[in-house]
């Protein structure tokens, strides 16, 4: 499939590399595709430069603008920080998003108050980032997924406990959730739990503060939550 990724930090790069390895035709969208040597992503993002990425996991992919990536993809992925997602998706262009599935992996974490991160999703009238994206792009099928765990395992869930842990998703379109689920299964995810419509993005984004703390207390080793039911 043709996949367009909006955002070139660690999550965009990891997803891009994985999708390339699975045979997909990937364009990674970045704010300034002529600048391949700066650090991308939010402050502290551990991703290598795009020049390095294009030598490694991304060598079968292309780097382009947000709008070029969005125009290319049959399926789109938002891999930007939730703090800037609406702005980045506006640059990608609503005409390039219309009618398509957008997997939203974003979190809006504010570390500015010190201590535990505040999940901004809960501070704003508009609700979660996922809901605000769906509202801003009503012709796009937004599916929230992969925001509740760490970059170490999102594309390699089998690295932890042989994959015996859960990935969550939510969204308004059942068909879009099924296609995203297929993509997740191709990564190795076995336990996919559907939280219902896009309003569940609220809880998924709030989860991130706990995930970060759990990961820290686990010595920054891979960990994830399993919904036992």
Residues that bind a second copy (CB under 8 A): 115-116, 118-119, 122-123, 127, 148, 160-161, 164-165, 168, 193-196, 199-200, 202-204, 206-207, 209-214, 216-218, 221-229
How does strand 109-110 pair with strand 101-104? unpaired
Least CB distance from residue 140 to a second copy, whole Å? 20
If the CB atoms of residues 64 and 118 are measured against a second copy, the closer one turns out to be 118
Least CB distance from residue 34 to a second copy, whole Å? 39
Least CB distance from residue 60 to a second copy, whole Å? 32
If the CB atoms of residues 34 and 216 are measured against a second copy, the closer one turns out to be 216
Tokens linked to 110: 């504010």
Least CB distance from residue 210 to a second copy, whole Å? 3
Integer angstrom CA distances of residue 104 from 12, 79, 178, 224, 229: 11, 7, 15, 19, 26
Least CB distance from residue 93 to a second copy, whole Å? 29
- Distance from the first to the final alpha carbon of the chain: 34
If the CB atoms of residues 98 and 227 are measured against a second copy, the closer one turns out to be 227
Cα separation, 153 vs 151, whole angstroms: 5
Q: What angle do CA 185, 108, 148 make, to 5 degrees?
A: 30
Q: Which of 41, 43, 44 lies closest to 31 in space, CA to CA?
A: 41
If the CB atoms of residues 126 and 175 are measured against a second copy, the closer one turns out to be 126
If the CB atoms of residues 37 and 115 are measured against a second copy, the closer one turns out to be 115
Least CB distance from residue 145 to a second copy, whole Å? 14
Secondary element (H or E) of residue 187: helix 174-187
Q: What angle do CA 148, 90, 94 make, to 5 degrees?
A: 100
If the CB atoms of residues 179 and 209 are measured against a second copy, the closer one turns out to be 209
How does strand 2-6 pair with strand 75-78? parallel
């Amino acid at each position: 499939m043709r996949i367009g990724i909006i955002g070139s930090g660690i999550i965009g790069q990891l997803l891009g590399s994985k999708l390339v390895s699975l045979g997909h035709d990937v364009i990674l969208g970045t704010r300034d595709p002529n600048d391949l040597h700066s650090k991308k992503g939010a402050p502290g993002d551990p991703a290598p430069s795009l020049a390095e990425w294009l030598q490694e996991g991304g060598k079968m992919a292309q780097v382009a603008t947000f709008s070029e990536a969005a125009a290319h993809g049959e399926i789109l992925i938002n891999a930007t920080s939730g703090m800037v997602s609406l702005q980045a998706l506006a640059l990608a262009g609503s005409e390039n998003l219309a009618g398509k599935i957008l997997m939203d992996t974003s979190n809006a974490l504010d570390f500015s108050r010190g201590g535990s991160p505040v999940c901004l999703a809960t501070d704003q009238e508009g609700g979660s980032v996922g809901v605000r994206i769906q509202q801003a792009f009503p012709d796009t099928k937004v599916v929230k997924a992969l925001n509740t765990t760490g970059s170490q395992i999102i594309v390699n869930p089998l690295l932890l406990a042989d994959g015996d842990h859960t990935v969550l998703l939510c969204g308004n379109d059942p068909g879009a959730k099924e296609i995203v689920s297929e993509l997740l299964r191709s990564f190795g995810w076995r336990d996919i739990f559907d939280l219902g419509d896009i309003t569940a993005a609220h809880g998924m984004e709030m989860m991130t503060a706990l995930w970060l703390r759990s990961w820290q207390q686990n010595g920054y080793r891979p960990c994830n939550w399993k919904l036992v039911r």
